[in-house]
């Protein structure tokens, strides 16, 4: 047997507000499993039925949010369930609209309704499903935020999250809370920010490495022009080697001297 409690405020004026995510998730479960939530007792309105083969009680406290613990304590004491057979569904401003967080136990965080529940029960080791509604923006008052209806894209996300919360509750009732956590839990903002920061650091390192590579290539490029003047000097020395033809006349003079010697020979023969 399980008791699934959805936290919220009774009354039409609060019916579709952010603070009534628990009530709305219970309405989805009741419609799916034909459970009529009309009985009044234990400072709650509740209904009995089955989800799968498991007997369940779906309860909405009538104590208003800040005193939800009174109703939950009455239910737990009467039906004498174990701690892990209690599931509480409620809104959470610390999660983005549409995000879910499923936990087996834990503190109340900033939620006054959960503070009352834990205080009245005297323990906090029971499963809970938190439905993200987002924090107020632009300096908006917190009470005005949770007591109003989401709009636009946030409304679409919240509606989808309520169906996911009902799915998660069904898994938990069947003893598959780990599956519910794996399927629906999303990383908190803090981790998202840390991941974004790490991604930025990786990009910075990559940019630094590129810069180092560019700087290491620049000296190699600078050496190439330095080698060119050396070649130019070598080419400049080549004309000095070409100057040798200017000494050629000295070599040509030898035949000129030999010529008179040949002329002298006939002269000697004449004398003979």
Residues annotated as part of the active site: 19
How far, in Å, are 119, 197, 214, 240, 270 from residue 108 at the CA level?
Answer: 10, 29, 54, 96, 144
Residue pair 56/3 in contact by the 8 Å Cβ criterion: yes
Of 72, 108, 85, 102, nearest in space to 166 by CA: 102
Q: How far apart are CA 22 and CA 88, in angstroms?
A: 8
Taken in order 23, 26, 32, 36, is the CA torsion positive or negative? negative
Q: Which value, in Å, is the radius of gyration of the alpha carbons in the chain?
A: 46
Sheet holding 44-51, edge to edge: 39-41, 44-51, 54-61, 2-6, 86-92, 128-132, 100-103
How far, in Å, are 37, 120, 222, 256, 269 from residue 4 at the CA level?
Answer: 12, 17, 76, 131, 149
End-to-end CA distance of the chain: 157
Residue pair 34/49 in contact by the 8 Å Cβ criterion: yes
């Amino acid at each position: 047997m399980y008791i699934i409690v959805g936290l919220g405020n009774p009354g039409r004026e609060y019916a579709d507000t952010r603070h009534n995510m628990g009530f709305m998730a219970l309405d989805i479960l009741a419609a799916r499993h034909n459970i009529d939530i009309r009985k009044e007792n234990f400072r709650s309105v509740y209904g009995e039925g089955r989800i799968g083969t498991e007997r369940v009680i779906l309860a909405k406290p009538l104590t208003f949010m800040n005193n939800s613990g009174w109703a939950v304590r009455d239910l737990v004491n009467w039906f004498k369930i174990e701690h892990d057979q209690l599931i509480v569904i409620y809104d959470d401003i610390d999660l983005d609209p549409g995000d879910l967080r499923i936990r087996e136990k834990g503190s109340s965080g900033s939620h006054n309704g959960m503070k009352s529940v834990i205080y009245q029960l005297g323990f906090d080791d029971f499963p809970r499903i938190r439905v993200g509604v987002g924090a107020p923006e632009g300096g908006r008052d917190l009470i005005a935020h949770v007591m109003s209806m989401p709009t636009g894209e946030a409304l679409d996300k919240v509606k989808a999250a309520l169906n996911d919360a009902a799915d998660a509750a069904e898994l938990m009732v069947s003893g598959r809370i780990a599956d519910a956590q794996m399927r629906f839990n999303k990383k908190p903002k803090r981790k998202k920010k840390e991941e974004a920061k790490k991604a930025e650091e990786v990009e910075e390192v990559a940019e630094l490495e590129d810069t180092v590579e560019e700087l290491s290539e620049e000296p190699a490029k600078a050496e190439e022009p330095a080698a060119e003047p050396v070649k130019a000097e070598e080419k400049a020395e080549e004309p000095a080697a070409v100057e040798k033809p200017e000494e050629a006349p000295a070599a040509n003079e030898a035949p000129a001297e030999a010529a008179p010697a040949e002329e002298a020979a006939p002269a000697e023969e004449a004398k003979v």
